[in-house]
C-alpha cells in the first residue's frame, strides 16, 4: 500500500528473496525426498562418521550437529577471558597466551562446520534435489494407491532415521526420547492452554500422577524393590503389560484433572490459574508425604521399558489422536469456548462438557507422557514436578505456538535441544534461554507457529509444477 | 493447644502474613491496573533484599569511616527507604523491557516473559555474587519480651507495624492523590481511560514502581527476621504471595492484605496441628475450597473482562 514499497525493497523483502533463492531448487522436493536424504545422511554418519570426525580433528562424532562443540569452544574462551580480566596488572603479559588459546580453540571450528556440511547438509540437499522426480513418482503412486500406506511409509522412514541417528551414542538416545516425551506433554498442554484458552498451571501435577501411576504399576508388579516389595509377576511380562501401566497412569491423571475441571465451570482465567497452581502444589506435596511410594526420596528402579520404538510409537499415536481431537466437532467447541464462552453457550455448545472433556483428555496424555518420562529417566521424585517443570512446559507451548500441532512439535524440540546444546555454557545457559524466549514473545506474541491446522496426509502429497494439477 | 501456644502462633503468623501481604500488594496492583501477571515479582522481592543488604553494608561502612554515631533504627529506616527507591527502578525497567511491548498481546505471553525475567534475575544474581549465601547485618539488637507467657521480639513488632504502616500509606496514596485516582481509573477501564488524557505508560511505570518498592521493604523485613539471603528465596515466597493476591480478589488492595495475613495464619496453624510436611497440601486445599465457593476471591468483583487472546 505504501508508495515506498513499490520502489524500494524493504528489509523483509530482501530477506524474502534471499530465502526464496536458496529454497528455489527445492520447491518440488516432497517430504519423501527429504526423508530419503536424511536417511542417507545418518547412514553416512553411521559408517564413515568416525573417520571423518577424526580427520577433522575431533575425538568422536559430534553429538548434536556440532552445536555442543561450538558452545564448548565459546565457553572455554569466555572462561579464559574472565581469568584474564581478573588480574588487571597482568593483562598485557597474559594477552598473547590468551590470544593463542583463543585461536587454538577457534581453529577447531572449521572442522566441525565442514563435518556438518559434509555429513548432513550436502547429502541431504543433494539426494533431495537429485531424487525429485523418482520420489515424487513414488509418493504420488503410493498416495493414489492407499494414502494410509503412504503415511505408514513416511512414519517408518522417520523412525528408521531416528533409530540410526540415535544408534551412535547413548546420549543421543536419551535426548531423542526426552524430546519425544516432551512433544506429547506440550501438545496435551496446548489442548488446554492453546485450543481452549485457559491458563492452566496444573500440568506438572498431571505428569506426576501419570509418572507415579505407571511406575508403581511396573515397579510393584515386576521388580523386586525395597519400597514396594517383591515382584508379583515375572519380569518378561513387563514388556507386554507396559501399555496397561501407561494407560493406568493416564487415567489416574484424568481422575486428578476432575479436581481442576469442576472449578473451571464457574471460574476462568486468573482464578483458574490459581486453582490449577494449587492443584500442582497439592500433588507434589501429596507424593512428598506418601512414604509408601518413597516420599521425598522418590521411586527408582523402573525397568527399562521406554525404549525408542515404544516412545516413538506413543508419540505418533498421541499426536494422531490429539490432532483428530482438536479437529473434531468437540475440538472446534474448544475454540468456541476460548473465543467467547457466552456466545458458545448461546450457539448450543455445551461449555461444561467441553471443558470437562478437554481437561480430562489433556491430563490423560500428560499422564501417559509422565509414565514414559519416568521410564526414560528410570527414577521419579516429587521435586521434579515443581515450578521449574511448569516454567519449562509453559515455555515450550508458548514458544512453539498456540493452537497448533506443528507449533507444539517445534516448541518442544527446540527448547529441549536448546537446553542440551547450551549445556557447555553452564549457568549462563539460564541467561541465554530466557532472553531468547523474551525476544520471541515480543516479536511473535502467540509463538513461532500458531493457529494452524495439521494435516499429515496433505503434507506428504507429491509436489507438482506450479500451474499443474494439485 | 494451650492458650500460650495459640497466642504464640498468632504472633508468628502475623509476622509471616506481613511478608505475604506486602508482596501480594505488588501483584495485586499490577494485576488490577494492567490485567497482567507479574511473575517476576517474587524475584524483585529477592533483588530488593539484596539491594537492602548492599545499602546497609554501605551505610555501616560509611559510619565506620566517618565515625558519626547513628542509631541502628535510623540506619534501618535509611536502608528501607533507599532500597525501596532503588528497587522501584528495577521494577520500572522490568516493565519497560518485558511488559510494555506485550501490553496488547495475549496475557499468557506476558506471563512467560515475566517468568523468564525472573529466571534472568536469579541467574544474574548467581553469576555476579556467586553461590555463597550472604547474611544480613543485624542493624538492631533483638530484645525479647515475655507477655502472658508469649515471647515477642521487638523485631516481630517492628515488622508487623512497618508492614501495616506501609499498607496504610499505600491506601492513602491510592485513595487521596491524583496519581492514585488515575491508577484506580485505569484499573476500572483499561481502554477508555487513556483517551481521557491519563498517560498509560506512566501509570504502568508508577504501578510497577510502587509494587517493587513494597516488595523491597518486604525483602528487608524478611532478612531482618531470617538473615540469610539466597538467589532463589523469591521463588516459593513469590508464588505464595501471588496465590494470596488472587485469593484477595482482582486488584483489591484490602483483599491482598487480608489474604496475605490469612495465608500466614493458614500456614502457621496447619503446621501447628499437623505434621509440617503436610503444610502445603492442606494450605492449598483450603485455598482451593475457598476459590470454589468464592470464584472471584474474597473481595473481588465478578470477573467480566475478556481474556485477551
What average pLDDT does this structure show over B116-130?
90
Judged against a pLDDT cut of 50, whether residue B272 lies above it is answered with: yes
Q: What pLDDT shows up at residue B79?
A: 93
Interface membership of B232 toward A (CB under 8 Å): no
Inter-chain touch A282–B109, beta carbons under 8 Å: no
Inter-chain touch B111–A394, beta carbons under 8 Å: yes
Q: How confident is the model at residue A63 (pLDDT cuts 50, 70, 90)?
A: confident
| Among candidates B98, B110, B115 on the partner chain, residue whose Cβ is nearest the Cβ of A391 | B115
Inter-chain touch A271–B295, beta carbons under 8 Å: yes
Interface membership of B255 toward A (CB under 8 Å): no
Dihedral sign of CA atoms A102, A104, A109, A112 in order: negative
Q: How far apart are CA A327 and CA A367, in angstroms?
A: 22
C-alpha cell at B71: 542509631
What average pLDDT does this structure show over B251-264?
88
What average pLDDT does this structure show over B150-172?
90
Q: What pLDDT shows up at residue B172?
A: 92
C-alpha cell at B243: 496465590
Interface membership of B290 toward A (CB under 8 Å): no
Q: How confident is the model at residue A15 (pLDDT cuts 50, 70, 90)?
A: low
User: Which residues fall within 8 angstroms of residue B47, CB to CB, at 6 or more apart?
Assistant: B87, B90, B121, B125, B216, B219, B234
Q: What pLDDT shows up at residue B51?
A: 94
Closest CA to A74 of A424, A434, A432: A424
| B238 contact residues in A (CB cutoff 8 A) | none
| Among candidates A197, A271, A434 on the partner chain, residue whose Cβ is nearest the Cβ of B120 | A434
What average pLDDT does this structure show over A134-154?
87
Q: What pLDDT shows up at residue A11?
A: 63
Helices A405-421 and A67-86, axial angle in degrees (round to 10) = 40
Domain B3-293 bears CATH identifier 1.10.3470? yes
> In sequence order, what DSSP letters do the residues of chain B get, joined into one string?
--HHHHHHHHHHHHHHHHHHHHHHHHHHHHHHHH----TTHHHHHHHHHHHHHHHHHHHHHHHHHHT----HHHHHHHHHHHHHHHHHHHHHHHIIIIIGGGTTS-HHHHHHHHHHHHHHHHHHHHHHH-SSPEE----S---EEEETTEEEEHHHHHHHHHHHHHHHHHHHHHHHSHHHHHHHHHHH-TTTGGGGT--HHHHHHHHHHHHHHHHHHHHHHHHHHS-EE-TTHHHHHHHHHHHHHHHH-TT-HHHHHHHHHHHHHHHHHHHHHS-GGGHHHHHHHHHHHHHHHSTT-SSPPP--PPP--
C-alpha cell at A298: 522418590
| A441 contact residues in B (CB cutoff 8 A) | 102, 105, 109-110, 112-113, 116
Query: Which residue has 507457529 as its cell numbers?
Result: A449
User: Taking all residues of chain B, what is their mean pLDDT, rounded to a whole number?
Assistant: 86
| A268 contact residues in B (CB cutoff 8 A) | 303, 307
What phi and psi values does residue A58 have, to the nearest 5 degrees? Answer: -105, 155
Q: What is the pLDDT of residues B125-149, one digit of tens each?
A: 998 888 788 888 887 888 888 887 7
Q: What is the pLDDT of residues A75-109, one digit of tens each?
A: 888 888 888 888 777 778 888 888 888 888 888 88
Interface test with A, best of B288, B294, B303 (most A CBs within 10 A): B288
Judged against a pLDDT cut of 90, whether residue A221 lies above it is answered with: no
User: Taking all residues of chain A, what is their mean pLDDT, rounded to a whole number?
Assistant: 87
Across-strand partners of A300? A379
What phi and psi values does residue B66 have, to the nearest 5 degrees? Answer: -95, -5
| A434 contact residues in B (CB cutoff 8 A) | 116-117, 119-120, 123
Judged against a pLDDT cut of 70, whether residue A470 lies above it is answered with: no
Interface membership of B95 toward A (CB under 8 Å): no
Interface membership of A130 toward B (CB under 8 Å): no
Interface membership of B124 toward A (CB under 8 Å): yes
Q: How far apart are CA A409 and CA A158, in angstroms?
A: 14
Q: Are B46 and B124 in contact (CB under 8 A)?
A: no
Q: What pLDDT shows up at residue B307?
A: 35
- Percent of chain A whose pLDDT exceeds 70: 95
Q: How confident is the model at residue B96 (pLDDT cuts 50, 70, 90)?
A: very high
Judged against a pLDDT cut of 80, whether residue A331 lies above it is answered with: yes
Q: What is the pLDDT of residues A178-190, one digit of tens each?
A: 999 999 999 999 9
| Among candidates A269, A273, A281 on the partner chain, residue whose Cβ is nearest the Cβ of B280 | A281
What's the gap in Å between the CA of A185 and the closest CA on chain B?
17
Residue A209: exposure state from Cβ atoms within 10 A (0-12, 13-18, ≥19): buried
What's the gap in Å between the CA of A289 and the closest CA on chain B?
7
Structural domains in chain A, CATH included, are 14-163 (no CATH), 171-458 (1.10.3470)
Interface membership of B130 toward A (CB under 8 Å): no
Q: How far apart are CA A199 and CA B308, in angstroms?
A: 12
Inter-chain touch B288–A263, beta carbons under 8 Å: yes
Q: Which of residues 33-92 of B touch A (CB under 8 A)?
A: 37
Q: How confident is the model at residue A192 (pLDDT cuts 50, 70, 90)?
A: very high
Closest CA to B125 of A83, A389, A432, A430: A430
Q: Taking chain B, what is the end-to-end CA distance rounded to the nearest angstrom?
A: 51
Pairing assessment for the beta strands B144-147 and B150-153 based on DSSP bridges: antiparallel
Lowest mean pLDDT among A369-383, B50-64, B115-129, B244-258: B244-258
* pTM over cut 0.90: no
ipTM: 0.84
Inter-chain touch A282–B280, beta carbons under 8 Å: yes
Helical spans, DSSP H, in A348-449:
351-377, 387-400, 405-421, 429-443
Inter-chain touch B115–A446, beta carbons under 8 Å: no
What average pLDDT does this structure show over B28-48?
88
Lowest mean pLDDT among A28-32, A263-267, A287-291, B14-18: A263-267
Inter-chain touch B280–A434, beta carbons under 8 Å: no
DSSP A230: S
Pairing assessment for the beta strands B144-147 and B134-135 based on DSSP bridges: unpaired
| Among candidates A266, A282, A445 on the partner chain, residue whose Cβ is nearest the Cβ of B285 | A282
Q: What are the extents of the domains in chain B?
A: 3-293
Judged against a pLDDT cut of 80, whether residue B260 lies above it is answered with: yes
Interface test with A, best of B93, B104, B295 (most A CBs within 10 A): B295
Q: How confident is the model at residue A55 (pLDDT cuts 50, 70, 90)?
A: confident
What stretch of H or E contains A162? helix A147-166
Q: How far apart are CA B245 and CA B178, in angstroms?
A: 25
What stretch of H or E contains A272? helix A269-289
Inter-chain touch B113–A402, beta carbons under 8 Å: no
Q: How confident is the model at residue A52 (pLDDT cuts 50, 70, 90)?
A: confident
Greater pLDDT, A18 or A47: A47
Q: How far apart are CA A291 and CA A271, in angstroms?
A: 32
Inter-chain touch A268–B303, beta carbons under 8 Å: yes
Number of Cβ within 10 Å of residue B285's Cβ equals: 19
How many contacts, defined by CB atoms under 8 Å, are there between A and B?
143
Torsion angle in degrees (nearest 10) through CA of A120, A126, A129, A135? -80
Inter-chain touch B280–A446, beta carbons under 8 Å: no
Q: How far apart are CA A1 and CA A16, in angstroms?
A: 18
What stretch of H or E contains A379? strand A379-380
What average pLDDT does this structure show over A355-377?
95
What average pLDDT does this structure show over B276-295?
82
Closest CA to B49 of B199, B190, B223, B171: B223
C-alpha cell at B160: 508487623
Q: Are B63 and B300 in contact (CB under 8 A)?
A: no
C-alpha cell at A428: 549462563
Closest CA to A187 of A309, A32, A331: A331
Judged against a pLDDT cut of 80, whether residue B302 lies above it is answered with: no
Q: How far apart are CA A343 and CA A352, in angstroms?
A: 14
Helices (H) and strands (E) counted in chain A, each on its own, are: 21, 2
Closest CA to A399 of A443, A365, A429, A368: A443
What phi and psi values does residue A300 have, to the nearest 5 degrees? Answer: -125, -175
What's the gap in Å between the CA of B28 and the closest CA on chain A?
12
Give the 3-state secondary structure of residue A58. coil
- Percent of chain A whose pLDDT exceeds 90: 36
Inter-chain touch A285–B124, beta carbons under 8 Å: no
Judged against a pLDDT cut of 80, whether residue B303 lies above it is answered with: no
Query: Which residue has 468464592 as its cell numbers?
Result: B294
Q: What pLDDT shows up at residue B202?
A: 92
Q: How confident is the model at residue A132 (pLDDT cuts 50, 70, 90)?
A: confident
Inter-chain touch A442–B112, beta carbons under 8 Å: no
Q: How confident is the model at residue B46 (pLDDT cuts 50, 70, 90)?
A: very high
Q: What pLDDT shows up at residue A469?
A: 45
Q: How many residues does chain B have?
A: 309
Interface membership of B276 toward A (CB under 8 Å): no
Inter-chain touch B239–A437, beta carbons under 8 Å: no
Q: What pLDDT shows up at residue B87?
A: 95
User: Which residues fall within 8 angstroms of residue A319, CB to CB, at 6 or more apart?
Assistant: A183, A184, A187, A405, A409
What's the gap in Å between the CA of A138 and the closest CA on chain B?
43
Q: Which of residues 414-433 of A touch B (CB under 8 A)?
A: 427-428, 430-431, 433
Q: How far apart are CA B34 and CA B211, in angstroms?
A: 13
Amino acid at each position: 500500500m505504501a508508495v515506498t514499497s513499490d520502489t524500494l525493497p524493504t528489509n523483509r523483502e530482501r530477506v524474502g528473496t534471499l530465502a526464496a533463492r536458496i529454497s528455489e531448487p527445492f520447491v518440488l522436493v516432497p517430504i519423501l525426498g527429504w526423508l530419503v536424504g536424511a536417511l542417507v545422511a545418518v547412514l553416512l554418519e553411521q559408517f564413515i562418521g568416525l573417520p571423518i570426525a577424526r580427520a577433522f580433528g575431533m575425538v568422536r562424532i559430534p553429538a548434536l550437529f556440532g552445536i555442543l562443540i561450538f558452545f564448548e569452544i565459546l565457553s572455554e574462551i569466555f572462561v579464559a577471558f574472565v581469568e584474564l580480566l581478573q588480574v588487571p596488572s597482568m593483562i598485557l603479559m597474559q594477552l598473547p597466551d590468551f590470544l593463542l588459546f583463543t585461536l587454538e580453540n577457534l581453529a577447531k571450528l572449521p572442522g566441525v562446520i565442514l563435518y556438518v556440511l559434509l555429513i548432513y547438509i550436502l547429502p541431504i540437499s543433494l539426494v533431495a534435489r537429485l531424487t525429485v522426480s523418482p520420489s515424487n513418482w513414488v509418493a504420488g503412486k503410493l498416495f493414489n494407491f492407499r494414502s494410509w500406506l503412504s503415511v505408514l511409509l513416511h512414519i517408518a522412514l522417520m523412525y528408521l532415521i531416528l533409530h540410526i541417528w540415535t544408534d551412535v551414542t547413548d546420549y543421543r538416545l536419551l535426548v531423542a526420547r526426552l524430546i519425544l516425551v516432551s512433544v506429547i506433554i506440550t501438545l496435551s498442554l496446548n489442548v488446554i492452554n492453546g485450543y481452549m484458552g485457559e491458563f492452566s498451571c496444573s500440568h506438572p501435577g498431571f505428569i506426576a500422577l501419570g509418572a507415579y501411576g505407571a511406575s508403581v504399576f511396573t515397579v510393584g508388579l515386576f521388580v523386586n524393590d525395597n519400597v514396594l516389595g517383591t515382584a508379583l509377576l515375572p519380569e518378561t511380562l513387563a514388556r507386554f503389560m507396559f501399555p496397561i501401566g501407561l494407560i493406568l497412569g493416564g487415567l489416574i491423571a484424568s481422575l486428578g484433572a476432575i479436581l481442576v475441571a469442576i472449578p473451571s465451570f464457574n471460574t476462568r482465567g486468573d482464578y483458574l490459574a490459581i486453582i490449577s497452581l494449587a492443584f500442582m502444589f497439592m500433588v507434589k506435596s501429596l507424593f512428598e508425604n506418601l512414604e509408601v511410594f518413597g516420599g521425598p526420596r522418590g521411586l527408582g528402579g523402573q525397568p527399562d521399558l521406554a525404549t525408542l520404538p515404544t516412545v516413538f510409537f506413543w508419540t505418533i499415536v498421541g499426536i494422531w489422536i490429539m490432532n483428530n481431537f482438536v479437529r473434531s466437532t468437540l475440538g472446534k467447541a474448544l475454540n468456541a469456548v476460548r473465543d467467547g464462552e457466552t456466545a458458545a453457550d448461546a450457539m448450543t455448545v455445551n461449555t461444561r462438557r467441553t471443558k470437562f472433556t478437554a481437561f480430562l483428555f489433556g491430563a490423560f496424555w500428560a499422564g501417559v507422557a509422565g509414565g514414559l518420562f519416568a521410564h526414560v529417566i528410570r527414577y521419579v521424585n516429587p521435586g521434579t514436578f515443581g515450578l521449574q517443570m511448569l516454567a519449562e512446559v509453559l515455555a515450550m507451548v508458548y514458544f512453539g505456538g498456540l493452537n497448533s500441532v506443528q507449533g507444539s512439535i517445534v516448541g518442544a524440540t527446540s527448547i529441549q535441544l536448546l537446553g542440551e546444546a547450551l549445556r557447555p555454557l553452564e549457568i549462563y545457559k539460564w541467561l541465554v534461554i530466557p532472553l531468547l524466549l523474551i525476544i520471541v514473545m515480543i516479536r511473535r506474541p502467540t509463538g513461532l507457529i500458531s493457529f494452524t491446522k495439521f494435516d499429515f496426509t496433505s503434507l506428504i502429497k507429491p509436489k507438482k509444477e506450479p500451474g499443474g494439477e494439485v | 493447644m494451650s492458650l500460650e501456644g495459640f497466642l504464640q502462633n498468632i504472633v508468628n503468623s502475623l509476622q509471616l502474613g506481613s511478608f505475604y501481604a506486602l508482596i501480594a500488594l505488588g501483584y495485586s496492583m499490577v494485576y488490577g491496573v494492567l490485567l497482567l501477571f507479574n511473575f517476576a515479582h517474587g524475584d524483585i522481592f529477592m533483588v530488593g533484599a539484596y539491594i537492602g543488604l548492599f545499602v546497609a553494608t554501605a551505610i555501616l561502612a560509611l559510619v565506620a569511616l566517618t565515625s558519626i554515631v547513628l542509631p541502628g533504627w535510623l540506619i534501618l529506616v535509611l536502608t528501607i527507604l533507599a532500597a525501596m527507591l532503588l528497587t522501584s527502578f528495577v521494577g520500572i525497567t522490568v516493565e519497560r523491557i518485558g511488559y510494555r511491548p506485550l501490553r496488547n498481546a495475549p496475557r499468557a505471553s506476558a506471563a512467560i516473559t515475566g517468568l523468564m525475567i525472573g529466571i534472568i534475575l536469579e541467574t544474574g544474581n548467581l553469576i555476579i555474587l556467586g553461590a555463597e549465601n550472604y547474611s544480613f547485618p543485624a542493624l538492631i539488637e533483638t530484645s525479647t519480651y515475655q507477655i502472658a507467657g508469649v515471647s515477642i521480639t521487638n523485631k516481630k513488632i517492628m515488622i508487623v507495624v512497618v508492614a501495616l504502616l506501609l499498607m496504610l500509606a499505600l491506601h492513602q496514596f491510592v485513595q487521596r492523590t491524583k496519581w492514585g485516582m488515575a491508577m484506580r481509573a485505569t484499573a476500572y477501564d483499561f481502554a477508555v481511560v487513556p483517551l481521557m488524557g491519563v498517560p498509560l505508560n506512566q501509570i504502568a511505570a508508577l504501578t510497577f514502581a510502587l509494587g517493587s518498592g513494597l516488595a523491597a521493604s518486604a525483602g528487608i523485613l524478611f532478612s531482618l527476621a531470617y538473615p540469610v539471603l539466597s538467589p532463589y528465596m523469591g521463588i516459593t515466597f513469590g508464588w505464595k504471595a501471588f496465590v494470596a493476591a488472587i485469593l484477595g480478589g482482582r486488584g483489591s488492595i484490602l483483599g491482598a492484605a487480608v489474604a496475605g495475613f490469612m495465608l500466614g495464619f493458614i500456614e502457621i496453624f496447619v503446621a501447628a496441628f499437623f505434621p509440617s510436611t503436610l503444610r502445603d497440601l492442606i494450605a492449598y486445599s483450603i485455598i482451593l475450597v475457598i476459590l470454589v465457593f468464592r470464584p472471584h476471591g474474597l473481595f473481588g468483583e465478578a470477573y467480566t473482562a475478556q481474556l485477551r487472546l
